[in-house]
Structure 1
Amino acid sequence: MTDDALPLDDRIALVTGASRGIGYQSALALALAGAHVVATGRTQGALEELDDAVYAATGRHATLVPFDLVDGGSIDRLGGAIFGRFGKLDIWVHAAATLGAQGLTPVSHIDPRGFAKIEKTNFTATYRLIRSLEPLLRQSDAARVIHLTTSLAREPKAFWGLYAATKAGAEAMMLSWADEIETTNIRISVLDPGRMRTQMRAQAFPGEDPETLTHPSEIGPLIVELARGDRTPPQRVSFKEWKAALPPEALI
């Protein structure tokens, strides 16, 4: 039986983009629920801050893997390292994404090098991670994949062209993969977090009051719920709709 106090006890959870924002809060929530977190991100110092928070809350350290997702070879080595240490992967939260250094830009003005960076991070890395991690997820008795998406993947807007296109491609790839592996123990949820107080949001809307936005820590309970192996998660999830469906006492 699953201990509701630690519903993810002894599960191995990989979180990409764990150095800040939604990825950071997802990693912390998974650790608090009992999982051993393998955290990836580009910044060693930010990952160490996450590890400090995890250790302070749980008495256990996370496994930190600092690297840039544009490095496909590192993604391949990540899968091998997880297999060598744990032999499986139970949870994968894919929160890593980038808007690019140029920010919101007309499609015709995107610098080719900036294009390549965004495409490799948001789209190609998703494919490389699926390729590297599927064998590990198959070793779990109930693997759960949570892919962070955006409403722009289905309703693109001006100046969001490359970000929207790469996120739409990654979402389509995830859902195609879900169909391919439906007879396995792997279940995939595509999660739209909506408007949250993140660095990417601040980059896109520098004049916006962050206090009007949802803090990313609020998504933690939903991440844990979707990661549970004793539940059947929905394939598409909206944080806004999930929160609206909660009973009033859960929001106190």
Structure 2
Amino acid sequence: MTAERPLADKIALVTGATRGIGAATAVALAAAGAHVVAVGRSEGGLQDIDDAIRAVGGTATLVPLDLKDSDGTDRLGGALFERYGRLDVFVANAGVLGPLSPLGHVYPKDWDNAVAVNLTANWRCVRSFDPLLKLSPAGRAVMISSGAAHKARAYWGPYAITKAGLEAMARTWAAESITGNLKVNLFNPGPIRTLMRAKAFPGEDPMSLPPPEAAAAGILPLCLPSFTETGRLYDFPQGRLLDFHLPS
């Protein structure tokens, strides 16, 4: 481990790694020395991120997986244990926007999909990866949230509600891990130049927003062994950590 490669010899897993913040974070982790397990639905997108990781001198294992496949997530946890015996970094980035609609007009299948991806899939990842992260001398988990979790904005119900649930999940996980080597934190990227943002705000000039690489640069420090806070939310627009007052 060096100052230039603080994650040398570490194993880092990123979900939703084929584009946007997930892809940029995978590259940032690889540049910091981690071997990246890149999880995503698009095999073509995974090949692209593999090329980007190789370009910064990193290495990756590509995992084509829809996180709604809970059995697949369990198999991935078992494969990681057999190959590496641990997991050092987990970045829970995968998520869907869902419909922007009055709550009473949301189709049940769209509600179920938002809950399945933004909540249930992340819980299944916690269930599969928690033991692996606790086998690391400095396990780090970062769950990507949103300011929508706190704003209760009209028409954003499925996304806001599931992100609020994700924050409760991360805080609970942090509280349950408070005495060990695992640190669990949240990251709110704010407005970032992504396809999801463009879908939500089609009239917005994307070039007025920070690129995904800027968010990745903010996520990286939370993944390092030197970062010992837990149960906190890093608000990227404010550039500071927010405290949830976990029990001691």
Q: How does 1:185-204 map to 2 (within 5 A)?
A: 185-204=181-200
- 1:163-200 CA-to-partner distances (Å, cap 9, x unmatched) read 11111111101101100110110001111000001111
- Equivalent residue in structure 2 for 1:86, among 84, 87, 90: 84
How far apart are the structure 1 equivalents of 2:96 and 2:4? 34
1:241 to partner: Cα distance: 2.2
Q: How does 1:1-252 map to 2 (within 5 A)?
A: 2-58=1-57, 60-100=58-98, 103-233=99-229, 235-242=232-239
Maintained 8 Å contact 1:30/1:223: no
How far apart are the structure 2 equivalents of 1:242 and 1:4? 22
1:220 to partner: Cα distance: 2.4
Match of 2:243 in 1: none
How far apart are the structure 1 equivalents of 2:114 and 2:95? 8
Q: Which moved more, 1:5-14 or 1:224-233?
A: 224-233
Maintained 8 Å contact 2:187/2:219: no
**Runs of at least 5 residues in structure 1 that lack an aligned partner in the other structure:** 244-252
How far apart are the structure 1 equivalents of 2:234 and 2:79? 31
Identity of aligned residues (%): 46
How far apart are the structure 2 equivalents of 1:165 and 1:231? 29
Q: Which amino acid aligns with 1:94?
A: A
How far apart are the structure 2 equivalents of 1:151 and 1:242? 14
Normalising by structure 1, what TM-score? 0.92
Maintained 8 Å contact 1:14/1:38: yes
How far apart are the structure 2 equivalents of 1:210 and 1:202? 7
1:21 to partner: Cα distance: 0.5
How far apart are the structure 2 equivalents of 1:73 and 1:65? 14
Normalising by structure 2, what TM-score? 0.93
Moved over 4 A (4+): none
How far apart are the structure 2 equivalents of 1:242 and 1:18? 24
How far apart are the structure 2 equivalents of 1:108 and 1:160? 12
- 1:201-221 CA-to-partner distances (Å, cap 9, x unmatched) read 011111111011111111222
Q: Which amino acid aligns with 1:65?
A: V
Q: Which amino acid aligns with 2:128?
A: S
Q: Which moved more, 1:218-227 or 1:15-24?
A: 218-227
Q: Which amino acid aligns with 2:176?
A: E
Q: Which amino acid aligns with 2:175?
A: D
Q: Which moved more, 1:213-222 or 1:199-208?
A: 213-222
Q: SS of the counterpart of 2:130?
A: helix
Match of 1:249 in 2: none
1:231 to partner: Cα distance: 2.7
Q: Which amino acid aligns with 1:176?
A: T
**Runs of at least 5 residues in structure 2 that lack an aligned partner in the other structure:** 241-248
Maintained 8 Å contact 1:90/1:142: yes
Match of 2:246 in 1: none
Q: Could you say what the CA RMSD is over the residues aligned between the two structures, in angstroms?
A: 1.2
Match of 1:248 in 2: none
Maintained 8 Å contact 2:192/2:215: no
Q: SS of the counterpart of 2:100?
A: coil
1:78 to partner: Cα distance: 1.1
